[in-house]
Amino acid sequence: MTTHAQLLDKYAELTVKSGLNLRKGQQVLMTAPLEAVDLVRAITHHAYKVGASLVTCLYNDEQTALMRYTDGHTEAFDAAPGWLFTGMAEAFRDGNCARLAIIGENPALLSGQDIDKVSRANRARSTAYKPVVELITTFATNWCIISAATPSHAKSVFPDLPPDKAMEALWAAIFKCTRADLPDPVAAWAAHNKALHHRVKLLNDKRYAALAYKGPGTDFTLGLVDDHVWAGGASMAKNGIMCNPNIPSEEVFSMPHRERVDGVVRSTKPLSYQGTFIEGIEVTFEKGRIIKGTASKGAEVFKKMIETDDGAARLGEVALVPHSSPISASGIVFNETLFDENAASHIAVGQAYSQNMANTANMSAEEKLAKGMNTSLVHVDWMIGSGELNVDGVFKDGKREPLMRSGEWVD
C-alpha cells in the first residue's frame, strides 16, 4: 500500500514538473499555510532536484490573520503590505522566478467578523496586489495553484468525522482529484492536457458569438468578445515555459464581452470568498452588468464584493466543465474554489485574462476595454453548472447548436 508520505512526494513532484514545469536556474516563490509545511518541504526538495537556484516560502497563519479583526484598530483595515507585493511583482516580471500558491485556509475564517472591516481589508489588499495579479494573468512567468489539507479546511469538508479522519479523507480526495495517486501522475497530466487542448481547438474552430444557458433558475445569454480565445490545461508563459496554472483543472475557459450578458443566473455550489461562505447566489444581468443580486447566505459580503469597482459587477471569465468531471464525481463539496470550480461550469466576475483575447500584446488598456475585456481589482469564480444545465453555442448569424446537454459535452 502506498503511504501518505509517498503520495505527498508524488504530489510535490507533480507540482514541480507539471504544475510549474520548473527550469534549471529559476527561483521559486511560494505562499502556504503554516500547516502545509510538510508539503512545502517536499516541493522544495523536488525544486532543487530539477535545478532551482532558490526556493522561498512565505507562510500565512489563520490565528494571526484573525487577530487583525479581533484586536486591530479602525485604521488597520485600510492597510496592505504594498512593499511586499512590489517585491513579488519585481520577482515575477522577468520570468526568472516561478510563482506557486498553496491554499487550504479555513473557508469560513472570517464569517463572524464585521462585514465592513472584511470589505475594507479586501479592497486594500486587492489594490496593493494588482501589480502582481496583472503579471500572473498575463503569464509573465510560469505559475501554479495547488491545495493542501489543513485541519480547519478538513473540518469544513467533513464535519462529522474526527479531526484525524477528516484530514485523511481530505488528503485522499486531493490526491485522487489531482491524479497524484496514479502510478505516473506526470504522464497522466500530459494525457489530460492533450484531451483539454483537443476540446479547446474544437471550441476555437467554432467561433461562437455567444453561449446560451438554460437550467434551474438560470436562463441567460453570454456574448463572447469578437477575438476571443478558448484555453484550458497547460498554457505557455511569456518566459517560454508551459505550465499548468491550476492543479486540478477540468475546465476550458474564455472571455465574455463585458457588455453582452443578459438574463438570470443561479449558483449551484457554495462560494468561499475571503473567509466567508456565500450560498444561493441569484443575479440578473442587463447589458453585461449585474443589476440585481442576492444570496441566501453571505448576501452582504456578495453585495460588497460586486461593488468593489465597476468591473466587479461584470464578467471576466466563462468556463465550461462537464458534470462528470472527477471532482464532481467525487460527490465532495470542497468549500474551495480551486476544486469546486472544476466540478461545474462557472463564471467569474471581475478581471479578465489577456490570454483569452487575441493580439493583446501591444494593446493599451483603453483598447482592451473597447474590445470588451473587463478589468477589476477582483476575480471571483462561482459555479452555475449541474447535471441539469444545457448550453447552446450561438453563431454570429443567430443560429444555435447544442454544446452541452445535462451538463455533458455534445460531441
- In angstroms, the CA 128 to CA 137 distance is 16
- In angstroms, the CA 240 to CA 95 distance is 9
Asked if residue 272 has pLDDT above 90, the reply is no
The pLDDT confidence band at residue 3, using thresholds 50, 70 and 90, is: very high
- In angstroms, the CA 74 to CA 76 distance is 5
pLDDT at position 400: 97
| Dihedral of the alpha carbons of 375, 306, 141, 383, in degrees to the nearest 10 | -120
Contact in structure between 384 and 268 (CB atoms under 8 Å): yes
pLDDT at position 362: 87
Asked if residue 275 has pLDDT above 80, the reply is no
105 Cβ neighbours under 8 A, 6+ residues apart: 33, 60, 62, 150, 152, 153, 275
Phi, psi for residue 192 in degrees, rounded to 5 = -65, -45
Contact in structure between 219 and 264 (CB atoms under 8 Å): yes
Tens digit of pLDDT for each residue in 55-70? 999 999 999 999 999 9
Q: What value, to the nearest 5°, has the Cα angle with vertex 93 and ends 138 and 355?
A: 10
**What stretch(es) of the chain map to CATH 3.40.1830.10?**
4-177
Angle between helix 115-137 and helix 82-93 axes, rounded to 10 deg: 20
Tens digit of pLDDT for each residue in 141-176? 999 999 999 999 999 999 999 999 999 999 999 999
Phi, psi for residue 94 in degrees, rounded to 5 = -95, 5
SS (H, E, C) the chain: CCCHHHHHHHHHHHHHHHHHCCCCCCEEEEEEEHHHHHHHHHHHHHHHHCCCCEEEEEEECHHHHHHHHHHCCHHHHHCCCHHHHHHHHHHHHCCCEEEEEEECCCCCCCCCCCHHHHHHHHHHHHHHHHHHHHHHHCCCCCEEEEECCCHHHHHHHCCCCCHHHHHHHHHHHHHHHCCCCCCCHHHHHHHHHHHHHHHHHHHHHHCCCEEEEEECCEEEEEEECCCECCECCCEECCCCCEECCECCCCCEEECEEEEEEEEEEECCCCEEECCEEEECCEEEEECCEEEEEECCECHHHHHHHHCCCHHHHCEEEEEECCCCCHHHHCCCCCCCHHHHCCCCCEEEEECCCHHHECCCCCCCHHHHHHCCCCCCCCEEEEECCCCCCEEEEECCCCCEEEEEECCEECC
- Sheet with 143-147, edge to edge strand ranges: 54-60, 27-33, 97-103, 143-147
pLDDT at position 390: 98
The pLDDT confidence band at residue 326, using thresholds 50, 70 and 90, is: very high
Region 221-228: mean pLDDT is 98
Q: Which three cell numbers stand for residue 80?
A: 496592505
Phi, psi for residue 156 in degrees, rounded to 5 = -70, -30
CA contacts within 13 A on the Cβ side of 143? 24
- Cell 479547446 belongs to 200
Tens digit of pLDDT for each residue in 78-113? 999 999 999 999 999 999 999 999 999 898 898 889
Asked if residue 274 has pLDDT above 80, the reply is no
pLDDT at position 277: 84
- The chain-wide mean pLDDT, for the chain, equals 95
pTM (two decimals): 0.90
Phi-psi region of 287 (alpha: psi -120 to 50; beta: other; left: phi over 0): left
- Cell 532536484 belongs to 49
The pLDDT confidence band at residue 53, using thresholds 50, 70 and 90, is: very high
Tens digit of pLDDT for each residue in 179-219? 999 999 999 999 999 999 999 999 999 999 999 999 999 99
- By residue count, the chain amounts to 411
Q: Which CATH number fits domain 4-177: 1.10.275.10, 1.10.10.10, 3.40.1830.10, 3.20.20.10?
A: 3.40.1830.10
113 Cβ neighbours under 8 A, 6+ residues apart: 66, 69, 275
